[in-house]
Amino acid sequence: MSDLPRKAVVRTAKLAALPLGFAGRTALGLGKRIGGRPAEMIATELQQRTAEQLFATLGQLKGGAMKFGQALSVFESALPEEIAGPYRAALTKLQEAAPPLPSTTVHTVLAQRLGEDWRELFAQFDDKPSAAASIGQVHRAVWHDGREVAVKVQYPGAGEALLSDLAQLGRFARLLGPLVPGMDVKPLITELRDRVSEELDYALEAAAQRTYAEEFAGDPDVVVPAVVHQGDEVLVTEWMEGIPLSEVISHGTPEQRNRAGQLLARFLFAGTARTGLLHADPHPGNFRLLTGDAPDGPPEEWRLGVLDFGTVDRLPDGLPPTIGTSLRMTLDDRADDVYELLCEEGFVKDSIELEPDAVLNYLLPIIEPAQAEEFTFTRGWMRNQAARIADPRSPAHQLGKQLNLPPSYLLIHRVTLSTIGVLCQLGATVRLRDELITWLPGFVHPAPVPVPDPEYAPLPAQTTRDTSLEATKEEEEEEDTAEESSA
C-alpha cells in the first residue's frame, strides 16, 4: 500500500463489499448445514471470517472506517460469549496497530509541514511507526534538545477519507447493528462524523492536551505527556513508556486489572471536573500503565498514562449536575423526582408520558455499580444489560425506545458506555461510588425538590462512605415499627 486510499470510489467499493460478504457467508453456511455439518461449528467459522474481513478492511482504510472499528471495539463486552470469542482477537488488533504508511509518504508530510530541514529538529527519528490510529500514525524520535518524543503524523487526505467512510458506513449501519446487541449503530456513526473537523485540527488537540498536562502535572494517579511542538498535520509530544492497557486486559493479574480499572474510572470523572474537558476517545489503545522505576512494582503504585486528545467535549462547568442528581435520587428510590428531572432535561419528550416507577426500574440495573462500595465489572454483567435492553419482548426495550437522549448528552453517554465496556473487558473490581462522591456534581447534594422528603438525607460533603445505601428494606421496616411503638 503506497498511500492512504483516498478516492471515494475505491473506499466506497471496499466498504460496500462488507455487507455483500456477510450475506454471501450466510448463504454458504446454510448450504453447509443442509450438507450435514454441525450448526455451531458453521456459526463459529462464519463469525471468524466475518470478523477477519470487517476489521481487516477497516484497518487498511484507516480514516472513518478504522475510527468506527475502534469505537465498536470497546463494546465487545456486550456480545454473547459464543459470538465474542471469534471477534475478540480481531477487535483488539485495532486498539494498538494498523497497516502503516510507507516512510516516503511520512517524510513528504514532514517536509511539507515542518520544512525541508525537518530532520534538524530531531536528533533521531524512527521511520517505523510505533502505533497507527484512525487519522494518523506515531513515530518515536529524539527531539533536538534530547527529549524522547512521539511524532504524530496525519495521513494525507484523512479528512476526505473520514467523511467518505462514515457516510458509507451510515448507509448500511442496520446490517452492522447485530454486532453490538442493544446499541443503535447509526447515531454512533453520526456522532463520529460531527467530531471530524475537531479531530483533524491538531491545534485544538494540542490545546486540549496542554490543559490536561498542566492540570495533572505531578499527579500521583494520572500522567499526560507535555506538548513539545505543534504544526499543521504534525504534533510532537513527550514520549511516554508504559504497559498498553490492552495487555492488561489480555494478561493482567487481578490486582493489575483492579488498579487499571480504578484509575480509568477516576480519570473519567476527575479529568472533566479538573479541566472542563471530557476526553472522548476511551478505547484501550489510548491508555498506558506506568510502573515507575520498578517494572515489577506493586500495582497500587501504577499510574495511568493518557494519550490522544483529538476528540474532547468542552464542559467548562464539568459534567452536568443533572447526571449526578438523577443518579443520586434513583439510588434513593425517588421515582417521581427522577422522572420530573428527566422530563425537564428533555430525556422524556413532552409528547410522551411514562410511569415513574417503570423508569426507575429501567435505570436501576444500569446504575448497579454505583450502589455498592465496590463493584466487579464483568462481560457477563454487560451482556445481561445489553440483552435486557435489546430484547423486543422486554419492558426495558419498550421503555428505552420512548426515552430521548438530548444532543448535549450524546458524547457524554458514549464515553461513559465506552469506559464501562473497557472496565468489563478488564473484569476490574472498582470503588466507583468513591469517584462519584468525589468528582460528580450533584451526586452528593442533589438539587432541592418541590416537596421535601423526610426520609431523604443528603450525604455530607466530605463523606466517603454512603451508609444510607447499605440499609436493607427489612431494617427500614424494623425502624419504622420501632418508632410507631414508641409513639
**pLDDT tens, 323-379?**
999 999 999 999 999 999 999 999 998 889 999 999 999 999 889 999 999 999 998
The answer on 227 and 141 residing in a single domain is yes
Asked whether 252 and 260 are in contact (CB, 8 A), the reply is yes
Full residue range of the structural domain in which residue 204 is found: 103-158+198-238
Provide the pLDDT for residue 200.
83
The answer on 140 and 24 residing in a single domain is no
Closest CA to 270 of 200, 310, 217, 319: 319
The answer on 221 and 276 residing in a single domain is no
Q: What is the mean pLDDT of residues 71-100?
A: 56
Domain-terminating residue out of 149, 181, 213: 181
Instruction: Identify the three-state secondary structure at position 52.
Output: helix
**What tens digit of pLDDT does each residue of 268-315 get?**
999 999 999 999 988 888 999 999 776 677 888 999 999 999 889 999
The answer on 203 and 82 residing in a single domain is no
The answer on 394 and 274 residing in a single domain is yes
The answer on 430 and 335 residing in a single domain is yes
How far out from the chain centre does Cα 285 lie? 11
Residues with Cβ < 8 Å from 462, sequence gap 6 or more? none
Exposure string (b/e) for 255-290, b if CB count within 10 Å is 16 or more?
A: ebbbbbbbbbbbbbbbbbbbbbbbbbbbbbbbbbbb
Asked whether 309 and 367 are in contact (CB, 8 A), the reply is no
Dihedral sign from CA coordinates of 58, 63, 65, 70: positive
pTM given for the model: 0.74
The answer on 216 and 268 residing in a single domain is no
Rounded to whole angstroms, the Cα distance separating 469 from 457 reads 11
The CB density around residue 48, as the number of other CB atoms within 10 Å, is 15
Q: What is the mean pLDDT of residues 147-163?
A: 85
Flag whether 485 is in a domain.
no
Instruction: Provide the CATH number for the domain around residue 209.
Output: 3.30.200.20
Rounded to whole angstroms, the Cα distance separating 31 from 25 reads 10
The answer on 437 and 373 residing in a single domain is yes
Please report, to the nearest 10 degrees, the dihedral formed by the alpha carbons of residues 331, 336, 337, 343 taken in order. Answer: 110
Instruction: State the Cα angle at 189 between 187 and 56, rounded to 5°.
Output: 140
**What tens digit of pLDDT does each residue of 130-141 get?**
887 667 889 999
**What tens digit of pLDDT does each residue of 431-444 get?**
999 999 999 999 98
Provide the pLDDT for residue 54.
59
The answer on 407 and 325 residing in a single domain is yes
Flag whether 1 is in a domain.
no
Q: What is the DSSP letter of 225?
A: P
281 is catalytic: yes
The CB density around residue 125, as the number of other CB atoms within 10 Å, is 19
Asked whether 208 and 277 are in contact (CB, 8 A), the reply is yes
Whether residue 32 is predicted with pLDDT greater than 80 in this model: the reply is no
Distances (CA, A) of 382 to 267, 357, 436, 450: 21, 23, 20, 36
Choose, from 281, 308, 337, 466, the residue flagged as catalytic. Answer: 281
Return the percentage of the chain with pLDDT > 70, whole number: 65
Flag whether 280 is in a domain.
yes
The answer on 348 and 452 residing in a single domain is yes
Distances (CA, A) of 394 to 205, 208, 388, 397: 43, 42, 7, 5
What confidence category does residue 205 fall into, taking pLDDT thresholds of 50, 70 and 90?
very high
Flag whether 480 is in a domain.
no
Asked whether 376 and 429 are in contact (CB, 8 A), the reply is yes
Please tell me which residue, 176 or 244, carries the higher pLDDT value: 244
Return the percentage of the chain with pLDDT > 90, whole number: 44
Flag whether 83 is in a domain.
yes
The answer on 246 and 234 residing in a single domain is no
Q: How many domains does the chain have?
A: 3
In the predicted model, what is the mean pLDDT of the chain? 77
**What tens digit of pLDDT does each residue of 347-363 get?**
998 889 999 999 999 99
Domain-terminating residue out of 189, 222, 238: 238
Please tell me which residue, 168 or 370, carries the higher pLDDT value: 370
Flag whether 290 is in a domain.
yes
Closest CA to 69 of 5, 20, 15, 106: 15
Rounded to whole angstroms, the Cα distance separating 363 from 310 reads 32
The answer on 43 and 66 residing in a single domain is yes
- Through-space distance between the first and last CA atoms of the chain, rounded to whole angstroms: 83
Flag whether 486 is in a domain.
no
The C-alpha cell at 37 is: 455439518
Q: What is the DSSP letter of 410?
A: H
| Rounded CA Rg of the chain | 24
Flag whether 89 is in a domain.
yes
